[in-house]
Amino acid sequence: NAAEKGGYEHFMLKEMYEQPKAIADTFSPRIKDGRIEIEELGMDDEAIRAVKKIVIVACGSAYHTGMTSKYIFEGMARIPVEVDLASEFRYRDPILTDGTLVIVISQSGETADSLAALREAKEKGCKVLGIVNVVGSSIAREADNVMYTWAGPEIAVATTKAYSCQLIALYLLAMKFAHVRGTISEGELAEMIEELKKLPAQVEMLLNNKDRIQKFANRYLAAKSIFFIGRGIDYAISMEGSLKLKEVSYIHSEAYAAGELKHGTISLIEDGTLVTALLTQENLYKKMISNIEEVKTRGAFVMAVTNEGHIDVEKAADYVVYIPKTNKYFTNSLAIIPLQLFGYYVAVGRGCDVDKPRNLAKSVTVE
Ligand code: AGP
């Protein structure tokens, strides 16, 4: 009812607006005196140094946060990471060698495939860490250790705040691992902690831009197909942006690694097709500009999401959303906000049942 929605039209919008607080609630208790402390991890420095590989297993949006963290664990902590869909992992007899840490990510803690994957990993002798939102849920109870995301109850089927908190939990873990393993310096850690603390206010600022995004979204209510492209972390952000849009608006959408465009996807671009291009990674910026030009030549209309200061992107793209400066590993937390708003407003404009999209359940407890 209206009171539960706290004055917002939908739970999805309310939950998007709860993100600044949820993000702060997830990192604050784990930063002490300029150090990352994750007591519930149940691993001392020696155990952290002994990890040889991380295997992340999840479904849907939680899988997307896992994909993002692969780039972060590998880049920042130099630990090899495999990310698997839970429904695939459990049927392929995965090779889990000594020193593998398995991380299962789940908002509900009840997703059947994720729970089965957890059991499989435990059976194979791996230590399992759960990153879970619902306290006392099955995954939280069965994992060896659980790191909670403090998003609070999430009602809308499309996840927003739990997703954002999963990212924060994964940043904290990667920072902890990188610091202990000596792949980042004290100075770098301190700087990252400072950037982390700025995220809630930056997310708030992006949310306050909602009217501009709504206006833009209203132009695409009749779109046949919408594409999202990016490289590296931006590819992972694209996947989530695309899922947000299609699950609530029912508009066909796909996410592509921008370098893969010319291997097939580009034939789908028609006159006026909307392509959302993510450019938050400085080392991939020029490559992405070329990809924008590629789709523009085929008639695409391009919305770019990039870091503040990249005015030159306006020469290549048709519409630009800027995100504030942050650490290169944290850009997902900011770039996803306009994409959540975009998906939401396209769905609202089309008169969709935003909080309860057809055919979907909040928690998928069947295999
Ligand atoms: C995302 O908006 C989805 N509704 C869905 O993909 C979800 O992330 C997935 O079902 C996993 O759920 P869980 O986090 O509760 O395990």
The Cα-based distances of 93 to 54, 105, 123, 139 in angstroms read 16, 20, 12, 20
pLDDT of residue 3: 75
- What's the rounded mean pLDDT across residues 104-124? 97
Q: Which of 53, 197, 287, 362 is catalytic?
A: 362
Q: Count CA atoms closer than 13 A to 7's CA, side-chain side.
A: 2
Residue of 16, 68, 85, 107 to mutate, ligand 1, most atoms within 8 A of C-beta: 107
Reported as a single tens digit per residue, the pLDDT across 201-247 is 999 999 999 999 999 999 999 999 999 999 999 999 999 999 999 99
Q: What average pLDDT score do residues 159-186 get?
A: 98
Q: What is the DSSP letter of 283?
A: G
In a 10 Å sphere around its CB, with 0-12 CB exposed, 13-18 middle and 19+ buried, how is residue 348 labelled? buried
pLDDT at 232: 97
Q: How confident is the model at residue 363 (pLDDT cuts 50, 70, 90)?
A: confident
Nearest atom of ligand 1 to the alpha carbon of 139: 16
Residue 283 makes CB contacts below 8 A (sequence gap 6+) with: none
Best probe residue, ligand 1, of 12, 16, 56, 59 (max atoms within 8 Å of C-beta): 59
Mean pLDDT calculated for residue range 9-27? 97
pLDDT over 90 at 274, yes or no: yes
- The predicted model scores a pTM of 0.97
Q: How far apart are the first and last CA of the chain?
A: 31
- Average pLDDT score, the chain: 96
DSSP 29-74: GGEETTEE--GGG---HHHHHT--EEEEEE-HHHHHHHHHHHHHII
Q: State the pLDDT at residue 364.
A: 87
Read off the amino acid at residue 136: G
Q: How far apart are CA 284 and CA 71, in angstroms?
A: 14
Q: Any residues with Cβ below 6 Å from ligand 1, and which?
A: 59-62, 106-108, 111, 114, 157-159, 247, 363-364
Report the separation in Å between the CA atom of 113 and the middle of ligand 1, taken as the mean of its atom positions. Answer: 11
Residue 264's pLDDT band (cuts 50, 70, 90): confident
Place 366 in a pLDDT band, splitting at 50, 70 and 90.
confident
Residue 2 has pLDDT above 80, yes or no: no
Mutate to test the pocket of ligand 1, among 104, 113, 163, 364 (most ligand atoms within 8 A of CB): 364
The residue assigned the tokens 């600044």 is 20
Q: Give the whole-angstrom CA distance, residue 221 versus residue 346.
A: 6
pLDDT at 226: 97
Least reliable range by pLDDT among 47-51, 103-107, 353-357 = 353-357
Ligand 1, atom nearest to 59 Cα: 11
Q: ipTM of the predicted structure? A: 0.98
- Contacts of 120 by beta carbon, 8 Å cutoff, 6+ apart: 89, 90, 94
- Calculate how far, in angstroms, residue 120's C-alpha sits from the geometric centre of ligand 1: 20
- Give dist(CA 233, CA 231) in Å, integer: 6
Measured CA to CA, the distance from residue 319 to residue 280 in angstroms comes to 15
Q: Please report how many Cα atoms fall inside a 13 Å half-sphere around the Cα of residue 169, on the Cβ side.
A: 30
CA-CA distances (angstroms) from residue 62 to 8, 26, 66, 133?
25, 16, 6, 11
Strand partners, 254: 227
The Cα–Cα gap between 170 and 105 comes to 10
Please say if 287 is a catalytic residue: no
Cα separation of 344 and 316, whole Å?
26
In this prediction, residue 100 has a pLDDT band, given cuts at 50, 70 and 90, of very high
Sign of the dihedral through C-alpha 346, 348, 350, 355: positive
Mean pLDDT throughout 44-61?
A: 97
- Residue 57 pLDDT greater than 70, yes or no: yes
Half-sphere exposure of 87 (CA within 13 A, CB side): 10
Task: Tell whether the model's pLDDT for residue 1 goes beyond 80.
Answer: no
The pLDDT, as a whole number, for residue 361 is: 87
